[in-house]
Amino acid sequence: MAGEGGGAEKSKRILVTGGSGLVGRAIAKVVSEGEGREDEDWIFLSSRDADLTSAEQTRAVFEKHRPTHVIHLAAMVGGLFRNMKYNLDFWRNNVHINDNVLHCAHELGVQKVVSCLSTCIFPDKTTYPIDETMIHNGPPHSSNFGYSYAKRMIDVQNRAYFQQYDCKFTAVIPTNVFGPHDNFNMEDGHVLPGLIHKAYLAKKEGSSLTVWGSGKPRRQFIYSLDLARLFLWVLREYQEVEPIILSVGEEDEVSIRDAAESIVEAMALKGELVYDGTKSDGQFKKTASNKKLREYLPQFKFTPFKQAVKETCDWFVTNYDTARK
Ligand SMILES: NC(=O)c1ccc[n+]([C@@H]2O[C@H](COP(=O)([O-])OP(=O)(O)OC[C@H]3O[C@@H](n4cnc5c(N)ncnc54)[C@H](OP(=O)(O)O)[C@@H]3O)[C@@H](O)[C@H]2O)c1
């Protein structure tokens, strides 16, 4: 996975952990399609290059590439149902990965690290919209407390590295991400890719499409390619240690029902939509404010949701045999 841009030594060596995942591949695409710069050498890692839960392997991969900048995406990630089953594993793996990456970055003098939190780590009982100041205001939803607390500790660590060593380690907070190269597993994945996979099969079999839960919960979805462009801006321009929410606006929040209907339209599915109320809905909503982002980037244009869903469905259909399922 770890591809190095050849030629002369570049002044910036940007190491992307989790480079083989949904977000990492979107960053690689955006960089290779014109947003990369002359002075940047990009290195995308997968777990095959190093198991980042291991301090030794993390150190070795950092010494090998000697990055000046790090985008830290690697994490144990999953949808609601996988999170509910494995809270301990989510906590331990993610705490180890994050501590290994941040500490190596500090020890090897990395100039900047941008890590990745998530809006699903915010307090369960909160006022809406949530913003960057509220991360630690109360316990997260019980379904994913292992993942949530591990992610919250990145913010704690970033502040501590800044306080003790003046490190520029920061974090972004995306809402629900989707796009090509997602995990389209129907049991363990996130809601949108899981539904896209189910819709694909429903179309093939001429059957109905069953949505888990009531369809009423509301979410803000961000297209992975939009997120990738925002990551580049954060890496290059954003100077705060405090995290920043990367999200579409509150007005662009959609219900799971809306999302399912967009998939039906994108796939030209004829069968009916059925809601399985015996399955958990998870958090009803987690509406996030993108006010801070808008203050920095008032002109940024997000891809319209239906267009992004269509592009993702088309990618999945074209790449069905090799897609992560
Ligand atoms: N997806 C979302 O909706 C969402 C929302 C908010 C925040 N985020 C955050 O965004 C980041 C990227 O998520 P994603 O959706 O792109 O995840 P993903 O598609 O599941 O990719 C996860 C990446 O982490 C790597 N990885 C996992 N365990 C590792 C280990 N022990 N050592 C080294 N690498 C390891 C994987 O490598 P392999 O390919 O080799 O397994 C893969 O590259 C994560 O930090 C996640 O918490 C995601």
Closest CA to 280 of 226, 227, 225, 216: 216
Residue 167 CB less than 6 A away from ligand 1: no
Supply the residue whose CA is at minimum distance from atom 39 of ligand 1: 20
Whole-number pLDDT of residue 188: 75
pLDDT in tens, 104-139: 999 999 999 999 999 989 999 999 999 999 999 999
Question: How would residue 85 be classed by pLDDT, with cut points 50, 70 and 90?
Answer: confident
pLDDT in tens, 232-241: 999 999 999 9
- Helix ranges (H only) for 46-117 are 55-65, 80-85, 87-107
Residues 172/116, Cβ–Cβ less than 8 Å: yes
Catalytic residue among 86, 147, 161, 200: 147
Residues 188/79, Cβ–Cβ less than 8 Å: yes
Q: Average of pLDDT values for 85-107? A: 96
Q: What is the pTM of this model?
A: 0.95
For residues 212 and 187, give the distance between their C-alpha atoms in angstroms, rounded to a whole number.
Answer: 10
Q: Known catalytic residue: 147?
A: yes
> Tell me, what amino acid is at 243?
P
Burial (CB count within 10 angstroms: exposed 0-12, middle 13-18, buried 19+), residue 297 = middle
Residue 177 CB less than 6 A away from ligand 1: yes
Question: 13 has which bridge partners?
Answer: 41
Burial (CB count within 10 angstroms: exposed 0-12, middle 13-18, buried 19+), residue 295 = exposed
Range with the lowest mean pLDDT among 15-19, 45-49, 265-269, 282-286?
A: 282-286
Q: Which atom of ligand 1 is nearest to the CA of 177?
A: 3
Residue 148 CB less than 6 A away from ligand 1: no
> Tell me, what amino acid is at 155?
D
Q: 166: CA distance to ligand 1 center in Å?
A: 27
Question: How would residue 281 be classed by pLDDT, with cut points 50, 70 and 90?
Answer: confident
Residues 204/269, Cβ–Cβ less than 8 Å: no
